[in-house]
């Protein structure tokens, strides 16, 4: 039995890199230190796997060789006038670079899962700027944590014990040195962990940020967004008087009405708070390498998501070249899905177009998109069967581990084989 | 009986754990094809734990199982993200690339329909 230590988890954006994994005869036997989601991902990595490449023939996906499946994918791309490449977030950085290279080579449109997630946060940050902090800095110094529109106890389970709520930091002894606030439209397990829960009316977050900024600037404020003026005053006073505060925000802000404007409200509040104390704001990123997808697209194209290469150079177009819009408007005539599952998570009005056009899926597991796919190319699982790099939710790159061997090629190798064959 | 609600979709630990076991599994459907609502709202709709309930928005409708959650205030219901919730989320992004999946206007009604399997839900 081999014990692999300091293994990086590849479930969510926390990228906890202190896992211990027991490997025996090339199989993963146990995982320690992981949350239930990370443990499930690693221990179940062989369940529901696509074992062989597949091509749809007479309505059924049938096993074929990699050569045949890759040639079929190449034919689909070559015959396409408006190819869309989408996903990227559940694989490693070098595969993401290859996806951008493919998009550039074929003059296609490329988008990652951030567009239906924290894409609005990026739009707001591009407009207002953001004072972010690393999770290490936060663990060592932050004494006020505000979880706004997020529920880490369910979705980023080790964030509170490892980075934010209970760990011992350099200047923070533990839970008793920190105050925890939760702002949400509903009471969750995160509310129960918090010292203070503030219930905001659904869709009224921007109003609450505005009222808080007004109070901070010395104006009298009344009740706002379902929150009493006393609660607003108490909350702002806490934020003003802490030594180092952080707002962690989730999709409660980005997927509500207002979309990116909600985040602008939060960023403006944090900017104003920095006149009084040190305050930061960090998004709670979901897929383990969605932050990497934004980083890679930014280095290579200048833009974090929603990029079109049809003019021969990258053009940024949220709402224009973002996958949901392209699919809902039925503009693309082929789709390459890499390391994501729009069949499960996109609204039906978007995912239904995957049925209408040839779709190539590169993903280790059977998922909802498999039902729509015309070509399925199964890679080795990134972070389990191949190494690589991923970006933690605070933008810190970490190394992924190869835990066990696989006969399957990596995502980057599959993409490279497609790139070598497609027409320029 | 039909009542109007504010619908929120989001992640849960059980949805995350069971998606790794497999999206075609019963466990994934049991943890994902559900709507959580306040006990009083359940009573108002004549629902019991595990009753079938139809959730409808302007984007579409879907049948899922009702689950009690008193963390939700009256009038607010929650569905885990996944193929079932995707039936009632619209695709209008208002030019941002991101559509609304929280704070949706929804109506819930009692139904005798069964919850569809993943294959059935994707077929139409």
Please give the distance of CA B89 from its chain centroid, rounded to a whole number. Answer: 10
Domain at B15, CATH number: 2.40.40.20
**Topology match between the domains A54-114+288-421 and A119-283:** no
d(CA A407, CA A387): 14
CA angle B34, B37, B38 (to 5 degrees): 155
Cβ contacts of B11 on chain A, cutoff 8 Å: 151, 154-155, 286
Residue of B nearest to A348 (CA): B87
Cβ contacts of B81 on chain A, cutoff 8 Å: 345
Residue A138 confidence (pLDDT) above 90 = yes
- Distance of residue B112 Cα from the nearest chain A Cα, in angstroms: 23
Structure confidence at residue B1 (pLDDT): 85
> Which residue range is the domain that position B47 belongs to?
2-113
Beta-ladder partners of B67: B36
- Residues A273-307: tens digit of each pLDDT: 999 999 999 999 999 999 999 999 999 999 999 99
**A352 Cβ partners below 8 Å, 6+ apart?**
none
Residue A162 confidence (pLDDT) above 90 = yes
Structure confidence at residue A131 (pLDDT): 96
Split at pLDDT 50, 70, 90, the class of A184 is: very high
Residue A407, CA atoms < 13 Å, CB-side half-sphere = 5
- Among B33, B7, B81, B89, smallest CA distance to A352 is for B89
Contact between B88 and B55 under an 8 Å Cβ cutoff? The reply is yes
Count of structural domains, chain B? 1
Split at pLDDT 50, 70, 90, the class of A61 is: very high
d(CA A133, CA A130): 10
Residue A169 confidence (pLDDT) above 90 = yes
DSSP letter at A370 equals: G
Q: Is the pTM of this model over 0.95?
A: yes
Q: What is the CATH number of domain A119-283?
A: 3.40.228.10
Split at pLDDT 50, 70, 90, the class of A360 is: very high
DSSP letter at A114 equals: G
The enclosing H or E element of A215 equals helix A205-216
By percentage, how much of chain B surpasses pLDDT 90? 96
Interface contact B3, partner A, CB < 8 A: no
CA dihedral B81, B84, B86, B87 (to 10 degrees): -160
Cβ contacts of B37 on chain A, cutoff 8 Å: none
Question: In the predicted model, what is the mean pLDDT of residues A317-334?
Answer: 98
Interface contact B23, partner A, CB < 8 A: yes
ipTM: 0.95
Structure confidence at residue B4 (pLDDT): 97
**A32 Cβ partners below 8 Å, 6+ apart?**
A19, A20, A21, A22
Cβ contacts of A347 on chain B, cutoff 8 Å: 59, 86, 89-91, 99
Question: In the predicted model, what is the mean pLDDT of residues A92-115?
Answer: 98
Residue B110 confidence (pLDDT) above 90 = yes
B13 in a domain, yes or no?
A: yes
Which of A36, A187, A346 is facing B86, going by the closest CB pair? Answer: A346
Question: In the predicted model, what is the mean pLDDT of residues A308-325?
Answer: 98
By percentage, how much of chain A surpasses pLDDT 90? 99
Cβ contacts of B99 on chain A, cutoff 8 Å: 116, 255, 324, 347
Which of A155, A325, A371 is facing B97, going by the closest CB pair? Answer: A325
B40 in a domain, yes or no?
A: yes
**A20 Cβ partners below 8 Å, 6+ apart?**
A3, A4, A5, A7, A31, A32, A33
If one counts every other C-beta atom within 10 angstroms of the C-beta of residue A171, the result is: 12
B121 in a domain, yes or no?
A: no
- Residues A65-76: tens digit of each pLDDT: 999 999 999 999
Residue of B nearest to A199 (CA): B73
Residue of B nearest to A323 (CA): B97
Structure confidence at residue B124 (pLDDT): 78
Q: Tell me if B93 and A319 make a contact (CB, 8 A cut-off).
A: yes
By percentage, how much of chain B surpasses pLDDT 70? 100
Token digits of residue A306 = 């929603």
Structure confidence at residue A424 (pLDDT): 83
Structure confidence at residue A221 (pLDDT): 95
Which of A153, A154, A347 is facing B91, going by the closest CB pair? Answer: A347
B119 in a domain, yes or no?
A: no
Residue B23, CA atoms < 13 Å, CB-side half-sphere = 25
Q: What is the CATH number of domain A54-114+288-421?
A: 3.40.50.740
Average pLDDT in chain A = 97
Q: What residue ranges do the domains of chain A occupy?
A: 54-114+288-421, 119-283
Question: In the predicted model, what is the mean pLDDT of residues A385-407?
Answer: 98
- Distance of residue A319 Cα from the nearest chain B Cα, in angstroms: 4
- Among B87, B93, B105, B80, smallest CA distance to A203 is for B105
- Distance of residue B51 Cα from the nearest chain A Cα, in angstroms: 23
- Residues B71-102: tens digit of each pLDDT: 999 999 999 999 999 999 999 999 999 999 99
Structure confidence at residue A349 (pLDDT): 96
Split at pLDDT 50, 70, 90, the class of A186 is: very high
The enclosing H or E element of A5 equals strand A2-7
């Amino acid at each position: 039995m081999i014990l692999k230590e300091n293994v990086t988890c590849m479930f969510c954006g926390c990228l906890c890199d202190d896992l211990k994994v027991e490997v025996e005869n090339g199989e993963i036997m146990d995982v320690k230190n992981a949350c239930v989601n990370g443990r499930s991902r690693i221990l179940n990595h062989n369940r529901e796997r696509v074992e062989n490449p597949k091509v749809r023939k007479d309505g059924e996906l049938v096993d074929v060789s990699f050569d045949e499946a890759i040639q079929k994918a190449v034919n689909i791309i070559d015959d396409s006038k408006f190819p869309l490449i989408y996903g990227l977030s559940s694989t490693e950085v070098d595969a993401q670079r290859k996806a951008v290279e493919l998009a550039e080579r074929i003059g296609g449109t490329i988008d990652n899962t951030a567009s239906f997630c924290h894409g609005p946060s990026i739009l707001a940050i591009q407009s207002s700027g953001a004072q972010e902090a690393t999770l290490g800095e936060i663990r060592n110094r932050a004494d006020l944590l505000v979880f706004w529109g997020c529920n880490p106890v369910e979705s980023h389970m080790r964030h509170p014990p490892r980075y934010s709520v209970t760990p011992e930091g350099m200047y923070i002894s533990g839970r008793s040195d920190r105050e925890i606030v939760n702002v949400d439209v509903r009471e969750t397990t995160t509310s129960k962990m918090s010292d203070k829960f503030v219930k905001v009316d659904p869709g009224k977050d921007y109003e609450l940020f505005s009222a808080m900024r007004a109070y901070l600037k010395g104006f009298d404020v009344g009740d706002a967004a379902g929150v009493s003026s006393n609660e607003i005053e108490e909350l702002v006073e806490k934020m003003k008087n802490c030594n180092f505060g952080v707002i962690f925000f989730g999709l409660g802000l980005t997927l509500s009405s207002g979309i990116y404007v909600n985040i602008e409200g939060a960023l403006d509040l944090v900017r104003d708070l920095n006149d009084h104390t040190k305050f930061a704001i960090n998004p709670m990123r979901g897929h383990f390498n969605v932050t990497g997808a934004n980083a890679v697209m930014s280095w290579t194209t200048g833009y974090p998501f929603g990029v079109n290469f049809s003019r021969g150079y990258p053009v940024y177009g949220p709402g224009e070249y973002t996958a949901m819009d392209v699919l809902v408007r039925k503009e693309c005539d082929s789709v390459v899905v890499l390391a994501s599952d729009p069949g499960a998570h996109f609204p039906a009005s978007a995912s239904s177009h995957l049925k209408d056009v040839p779709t190539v899926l590169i993903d280790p597991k059977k998922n909802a998109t498999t039902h729509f796919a015309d070509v399925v190319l199964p890679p080795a699982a990134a972070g389990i069967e191949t190494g690589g790099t991923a970006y933690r939710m605070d933008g810190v790159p970490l190394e992924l581990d190869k835990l066990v061997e696989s006969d399957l090629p990596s995502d980057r190798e599959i993409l490279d084989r497609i790139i070598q064959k497609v027409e320029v | 009986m039909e009542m109007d609600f504010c619908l929120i979709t989001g992640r849960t630990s059980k949805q995350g754990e069971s998606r790794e076991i497999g999206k075609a599994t019963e466990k994934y459907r049991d943890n994902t094809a559900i709507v959580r609502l306040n006990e009083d709202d359940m009573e108002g709709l004549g629902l019991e734990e595990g009753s079938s309930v139809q959730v409808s928005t302007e984007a579409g409708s879907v049948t899922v199982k009702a689950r009690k959650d008193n963390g939700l205030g009256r009038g607010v219901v929650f569905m885990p993200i996944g193929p079932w919730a995707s039936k009632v989320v619209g695709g209008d992004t208002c030019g941002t690339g991101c559509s609304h999946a929280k704070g949706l206007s929804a109506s819930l009604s009692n139904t005798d329909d069964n919850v569809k399997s993943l294959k059935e839900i994707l077929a139409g």
